[in-house]
Structure 1
């Protein structure tokens, strides 16, 4: 399953490979469901009664996984019941349709996908994904927190195909395809660093769509602002992330930095604080973070004072961090909070 360039370079991708070819015909449907569920989250799968074939390769890119799937026509359904029963659904999938056709339904969107288009879906919400014919997809499966997007920002891009003819699509589609083909050939840190480029471009896409800019040709100032916002998202954990440091890193004046954010009706400091609060809120609700203190979570996302963090958290969400963690623990699959004010 490694691509030709990878083979020619003598690189052997690490990872796992699954195929229905070695499975008795009567067990193929069950086997394929299990393989897809292990990779993309528990799904109900509908496939034709006739012979079914499929292959799936997964390779690591640090905490991100590259996945290539070749299969016959099928439909996968991820329901609220399956989500509630999943132990690990806190992931987002970025999927490129290499061949075939697809239909994706999520967040009240129903879109048809053509070869060369990519789309994003959230494993934490119901999904229907249909492939009416033989297909190939290349995907990145990444932890939700890697995108550093709020719920509303993420919903801006789910089930909304991005054409390779658009500026961002022209960058993302070929890059993601090549990255998945070579996943598993990089050292862990290198692989994850390379995958971050896809994550950064998706972050830019979410902020662009959230701003209501649908022209596809944002101004130079808008492009610069999106790039700076992506930079901030990557450095949220740095307690020294100040407007001065941001301006210096992006080679602009402090005055111009403030002017860029004024067009959004928000200050630089307020935008940073909002993103940090969203990350803390998400982490406090996660089961695997139950053993971390609230102060540790706050510190991880750049808050230097636990008392200050508690005050701004309550101001934004109307409850203390401890109250939020308790409520999320009682109802771990249905909790929600409004975006930070």
Structure 2
């Protein structure tokens, strides 16, 4: 994820104006109003995953602040998007189309960024944490008129699949940097968004068993990224953290062509490959990079790496091994070809997956 703005990077006396400028530069610009607080923390980080943007916001102030998405701002910049708004720890308030939501922890609501809305950031020293998933209306295979009634409303807490999606979005912010270029993740986000809206409208093919498996797989991949450096990490601990039984853990990966531990090895190797090509780690010994990603034996690491990529770790580290392509008169290092992650399941919403 990249940081769009962070008030900790400027002098305290400049933080309010800096936050206002940052809010005005968001994907859907917002006008900030209210008395300038003496203490203010405002941080927004953004990651792009396929056609989706995931935005993480942390906010705390010693006075109430109001953000308005006005008609004038919409006319100046309308991305034509919906947004799933998740309050991680509660205390947020939003209003759109005459409906006000006072968020509790892990509440989710849907907003139309082409319609005015109002956000209230209450006074408090405890930071408010938000996660927002933004996506084009064109990705939703339903008429906009059918979704209009949902704009500004909270997703019922007892809606099947809602809690799983909330947990997935929270964990995704911790792994978006490593996973942002994985096509399976973008497909999972699409199914998540479409399925949640369908489920809310009582339409068929909402949060289906396939959607749940995709969400669980994405969550498990995020968990694996967080435990790459633990050589003792195994299926029992993975199932415990993912809050599933060991039996269901293996069921999730049926018809994918690999087991959870095979996926762990694959994630470790791909992370090692990225580290070996990272210029900032050029002076780090290969043995240290191996240990950073959970390998204890150099011979096992070298064997697995060569089998997976067709080259040795030393060859990847060597500048001469990095293929170059000339574009517009400049030399650029080409990215390695994408490595398939799993066999796709048929998608009942869109026909056969590709």
1:188 is displaced (CA, Å) by 4.4
1:125 aligns to 2:118 (yes or no) = no
1:70 aligns to 2:58 (yes or no) = yes
Distance 2:88 2:14 in 1: 27
1:109 aligns to 2:134 (yes or no) = no
Task: Name the structure 2 match of 1:93.
Answer: 83
Distance 2:142 2:119 in 1: 23
Encode CA deviations 1:31-83: one digit per residue, 9 max, x unaligned: 21232333341211124422211111111111211111101253211111111
- Kindly indicate whether the alpha-carbon contact (under 8 Å) linking 2:155 and 2:200 is maintained by their aligned counterparts in 1: no
- Kindly indicate whether the alpha-carbon contact (under 8 Å) linking 1:176 and 1:198 is maintained by their aligned counterparts in 2: no
TM-score, scaled to structure 1: 0.54
- Kindly indicate whether the alpha-carbon contact (under 8 Å) linking 2:194 and 2:206 is maintained by their aligned counterparts in 1: no
Distance 2:189 2:2 in 1: 16
1:174 aligns to 2:167 (yes or no) = yes
Distance 1:72 1:48, change over 3 A: farther
Find 1:25's aligned residue among 4, 7, 12.
12
Structure 1 residue ranges without an equivalent (≥5): 1-13, 209-221, 231-301, 303-341
Structure whose residues are more often helix by fraction: 1
Task: Name the structure 2 match of 1:51.
Answer: 39
- Kindly indicate whether the alpha-carbon contact (under 8 Å) linking 1:40 and 1:123 is maintained by their aligned counterparts in 2: no
> How large is the Cα RMSD of the aligned pairs?
2.7
Structure 2 residue ranges without an equivalent (≥5): 212-349
Distance 2:206 2:51 in 1: 28
1:121 is displaced (CA, Å) by 0.8
The count of residues paired between Structure 1 and Structure 2 equals: 203
Higher relative contact order (CA 8 A, sep 6+): 1
Distance 2:132 2:189 in 1: 11
- Kindly indicate whether the alpha-carbon contact (under 8 Å) linking 1:97 and 1:118 is maintained by their aligned counterparts in 2: yes
Task: Name the structure 1 match of 2:75.
Answer: 84
Distance 1:83 1:109, change over 3 A: same
Query: What's the secondary structure of 1:72's corresponding residue?
Result: strand
Query: What's the secondary structure of 2:178's corresponding residue?
Result: coil
- Please say which of residues 96-105 and 172-181 is displaced more in the overlay: 172-181
